[in-house]
Structure 1
Amino acid sequence: MYNFRAMNTTIATYYLNEQHNRQTEAWFRHVENTLSRFLPESELSQLNRTENTPFLPSDVLYEAVAAADRFYYETDGVFNPYLGRDICRLGYDRSFEKIESGNVEIQNQFLTNKEAPAEIDPKMRMITIHGAMIDLGGIGKGWTAQQAANQLSKKTPFGGIAAGGDIIVWGMPKENWNINISTPESWDKQLFSFKLDRPAGIATSSTVKRSWKDKNGQTHHHILDPRTHESSQSDLIQVSVIAPDLAVAEVYAKCMIILGWEKGIEWVLEKRKDLGIVGVKNDHSIVTGGAIRDYSSEGLIYYGERTVHSHS
């Protein structure tokens, strides 16, 4: 295993040689310098300073924004990468560790264009934003790991990358991949584990780990409901999604948290039959649904006393 810090988290690689480890680290750092909204000189920050003006991006910025935009329309706007102004308004306008919880001043006014917040021109490969600020957040990390895996899978028979709540594995080692998912409250406590029978991407989103309080004591977190422009308030505090692609898993984990379990599971499975979904509700019970057994024939192993409900 090889570790490095990037995108405000620890990235770990598995079964890679030294050259591939160094290439993966360099790729993550390059993408972070390109896509970070916290770096004033990043290319994404330059794009966000434009308004109704076509912007000619690098290939990395174009592909990442185009992927996020496709998910925006695929999910009917439930996944919305254009709420950057709103997440800043709520206090997440700097790298998370720099937020002074309990000392955040919340702005009440928001302004995000609900009609076509951006135009993506695939022929000219240009981006024009209208009344929006792009925040790639979690999908940027998931997309980066997926792109690295796509290239590494051509060079090595199997391997894996773990990036915070994101995991992508390709190929199969002698023993099946063993995946551990932590509790919403702590990275160090296991909630459940499972063995993967095939390559997959697993994304876990939580409203707890990246949360903060404003000056009035109200708690906010980084997953915004596009219907309210505020932190989502559903009955789910954590969702893990297993998918063929890590960016897909990232997007639908956030959509589930926004929509809540009952509405979310029906909505997601109408769109994607190939997802396995594990949610943690406000009462800390676990709910499961979708195609989990397609990825893990042995199913999930839970830690601690948990009430588990399965959606058939």
Structure 2
Amino acid sequence: MKKYQIFIDGQAGTTGLQIRQRLANHPQIEVVTIDHDKRRDVDAKLALMRSVDVTVLCLPDDAAKETAAQAREVGCRVLDASSAHRTASDWVFGMAELAKGQREAIANARAVSNPGCYATGAIVLLRPLIEAGLLGADRELCINAVSGYTGGGTKMVERYEGEGAPAYAAYGLGFDHKHIPEIQHWSGLNARPIFQPAVGNFDQGMLVMIPLQGSNGAELHKALAAYYQGEQFVQVQPYNEIAADTAPFITPHGLNGSNRAELQVFGAGSGQQALLVAKLDNLGKGASGAAVQNLNIMLGLEEGLCTQIA
């Protein structure tokens, strides 16, 4: 059985650590590391990238751009978990469920950009409905979301694992969150959406919610179910027509460690209001699980191998 070698640049961060955790028991992927004292040695890093099958970037955007250019220089394939290349025309977007032919594009790509967590939830909800003509590309949307604090990077993790962290906090109030271009581009929206993220006092889990006026929930659900029929990691839950006394209680929990996204559609009895909801693990399908899924596809392996944490 062939073994492939992977170098993770930035493996000490949350995403890198979870990729390593998933790959620890992978039967065909071996993670190689660079000596600690040579992490900033460009020649040593170039030599390592030249020797491996794929370099995975878990770095800040500027560092990811620099290292991606180095990897390309030495002919190494790249999977970038940063937001640096998610709308770049010469990179393949690493969401296998996006559209027909996307898996093949990932499999053949030299450079793949791993999707963002919030963006994953929004795109898997919106793309099928825009393609089906049930949502206009010019429609002005408001996207609301809440994530576990691990989605906010090292500083937010330190704050929430200390004392006095708030139970809930809205952020990104400047209408310029870095996921907005990615959401707009890959959903097929012409109009820039308003995106309002928030963080809760829990480590992992995410809800992305999109309320819609003048939309029939049953029609939206039918389109989503057809689009993702047979998909392993994006699953559409049964339709929920809501009456005042039957409204459910939704939490972001239940998918931690998995690479799954669960989609739900809630519709009012009038047929004129709907709520789209995506639930996922911000570090699973929103980051590390998706990265391992993409690695498997890039290397021609079974797509689901080690994509979740047992």
Instruction: Report the TM-score when normalising by structure 2.
Output: 0.28
Q: Which has the higher contact order (CA 8 A, sep 6+)?
A: 2
Instruction: Report the TM-score when normalising by structure 1.
Output: 0.28
